Structure 1
Amino acid sequence: MKKNITIILLVLNCLICFSCSKNPEDSTDLVISTGLANLNVTAVIAGITADKPNGDGSGNVNFTINADNATSYKIDFGNGEIKTVQGGSFSYSYSNPGTQTYTVRVFAYNLNKEISTTIPMTLFVASKTIWSDEFNVDGAPNSTYWGYDLGAGGWGNNEEQYYTNRPENVIVKDGVLQIKTIKEAYQGSKYTSARLLTKGKFSFKYGKIEFKAKLPVGGGTWPALWMLGNNISTAGWPACGEMDVMEHVYNQLNKIHGTFHYPDHSGGNAVTASKIVANVTSEFHIYSMDWRADYIKIYVDNEKIIEFPNTSAAPFNQDFFIIINCAIGGNFGGTIASDFTSSTFEIDYVRVYN
């Protein structure tokens, strides 16, 4: 019996020694035994003043997060982005332009424990230019930005022109891009013109695109400012999606069209609307599109032509490239005037904003 008591005492002594030798900085037991509580979140929007109650437009917000005994945090910024952080103070930049109200939700964790809180935040983000061509350098269009579609027929539209990249048909001069449609015999066609595109050079997903342009005169002319999905080479048309920011046919003078083509809604069955605008062939006007995940709006001079309810089922949620062209005749351009000799489509600039 005495031997057994001795063994028990030795075991107890070892356990006591082991407990005493544990690193005092190891607070695991303390964290587990102490409640996860008091989650606090503050958001300070950059540049708030009396005149700018929702910030200076930079989109920058300084967050501070802390909670008793939390080991990690997760923050949902309310714009679809979620990050894991260690707490403390950090900065985040919102990019969606305009004045938006976000619900920011923060989670604090300690092993299998979780608490959360939400804060509302109204923030103004100014639009920023992410790409533009101001056409300020005379000569051929910037080859870093633009390539060309070359050939005849209009790719199924029965148009009369042959598209070239000759300076006779396309040139930058006096601060504008000039696309010239000319009546002339060329490669078996009776007319020539040009079609520029940024495919393989620049494309984007969501944002605002703005063109400032003066449209050509002459019965049969059909200028367009538009976009196609990057996947056209694999998906084909209309599966790739097409967004027409501006189309005009001189045979329907001053009638500006905004149109969306996609499966089951293409060609004559496209989703389209139009607006009458005075003096489109004698004055420059601004044609623009506000493209977002939940809607797409097309404008002329800030007056809305059409609003499209964008959804994940539509093909308008991928990168698109830009196209500028002037056709003549064909399915939409219609009858070419018998006295037509030449006409010029002028574009002052193209700008893309975030």
Structure 2
Amino acid sequence: MKHIVSKIAIIFMLFVSGCTVSKRSGTTDYLFIQKEGRQDRRWKLVWQDDFDGPSLDTTKWSRIPAGTSDWNRHMSLDDACFQWKDGTLELLGIPNPDTLIDPRPFITGGIWSKHKFAFQYGRVEIRAKLTSAQGAWPAMWMLAEQNKYGPYPRNGEIDIMEHLNFDRIIYQTTHSHYTLNLKQTQNPPHGGTAKIDPETYNVFGLSWYPDRIDFQLNGHITFSYPRVPGADPSQWPYDQPFYLLIDQQLGGSWVGPVDLRQLPVRMVIDWVRVYQ
């Protein structure tokens, strides 16, 4: 009888291990590394957030603090930049309610999964609705969790979606040492655009493989960035875990000046899902 029980236990363990899609261990158990050979198999949901709670799930996300770059110069931890309504998270860009304490004319909200969730290869989908204003720059993007290749931009950047002002298109782009410093933006093309209605819900996403990144909008591939055999090694830093950023940015050299009269502006996030 003991031999039968032992055999059943072994079969069960083999079945469970065959169903897993990611390798995680020790202090890096928040890193979801897709196992080799799974890229051609069915996607399995490995991480999600439906934003159904009354506040941010801090086991998955942190609020993005202010920095010195165009994209994070106006980030704030202020509760006024975050709202939870009917199972959604709203990230807002607003006039600064207290310029005596903080001299910035406007502040914005954003979240990231840095040090809490990162994945290598897989599919990410974000269902969201945008609003428009002069100087509005909502973005959904990814940065490397670990410093594998050196300071930015050597570890790469993957922009799932960026929207400017009142545009009826989004930008989907990759950035790296290869594209920014070596100026190899067309060998291969490192970005594309897709038409949207920003005031309705859209599903922004990508499918990321060892040899390419397929950018998507509402389930349709809009642009692909391939790994190029024989290219400079910096062309493909996308072989390591990346974390997610979702933020309602305002202002900067690319998007232009902000019209305070058109604020508040918001990005409404319904859900985020990651598959491997």
- What TM-score do you get using the length of structure 2 for normalisation? 0.76
Select which of 165, 168, 179 maps to 1:254.
168
Contact 1:160 1:189 in 2 (8 A): no
Select which of 184, 209, 212 maps to 1:295.
212
1:133 match = 49
- Over 3 Å counting, the alpha-carbon distance change for 1:232 and 1:189 in structure 2 is farther
- Alpha-carbon distance in 2 for matches of 1:160, 1:316: 23
Unaligned runs of 5+ residues in structure 1 are 1-58, 61-79, 82-93, 98-124
2:141 match = 226
- Over 3 Å counting, the alpha-carbon distance change for 1:138 and 1:261 in structure 2 is same
- Over 3 Å counting, the alpha-carbon distance change for 1:268 and 1:274 in structure 2 is farther
1:212 match = 127
Within 5 Å, give how 1:117-128 maps onto structure 2.
125-128=41-44
Contact 1:138 1:174 in 2 (8 A): no
- Over 3 Å counting, the alpha-carbon distance change for 1:338 and 1:148 in structure 2 is closer
- What TM-score do you get using the length of structure 1 for normalisation? 0.60
The structure richer in strand per residue is: 1
Q: Which has the larger radius of gyration?
A: 1
- Over 3 Å counting, the alpha-carbon distance change for 1:267 and 1:328 in structure 2 is farther
Contact 2:120 2:241 in 1 (8 A): yes
Within 5 Å, give how 1:327-338 maps onto structure 2.
327-337=249-259
Select which of 241, 250, 273 maps to 2:192.
273
Within 5 Å, give how 1:116-265 maps onto structure 2.
125-139=41-55, 141-153=56-68, 155=69, 157=70, 162-184=74-96, 185=99, 187-232=102-147, 235-251=150-166, 253-265=167-179
Select which of 16, 21, 39 maps to 1:96.
39
Aligned residues: 232
Q: CA RMSD in A?
A: 2.6
Select which of 228, 238, 263 maps to 1:341.
263
Partner of 2:115, secondary structure, is coil
- Alpha-carbon distance in 2 for matches of 1:187, 1:223: 22
- Alpha-carbon distance in 2 for matches of 1:148, 1:236: 23
1:283 match = 200
- Alpha-carbon distance in 2 for matches of 1:351, 1:187: 35
Instruction: Give the 4+ runs in structure 1 shifted more than 4 A.
Output: 267-270
1:325 match = 247
Q: One-letter code of the match for 2:204?
A: Y
Q: One-letter code of the match for 1:131?
A: W
1:119 match = none
Q: Shift of the alpha carbon at 1:335?
A: 2.5
Contact 2:66 2:72 in 1 (8 A): no
Bigger relative contact order, structure 1 or 2 (CA pairs below 8 A, ≥6 apart): 2
Identity over the aligned pairs, expressed in percent? 25
- Alpha-carbon distance in 1 for matches of 2:72, 2:117: 29
Partner of 1:264, secondary structure, is helix
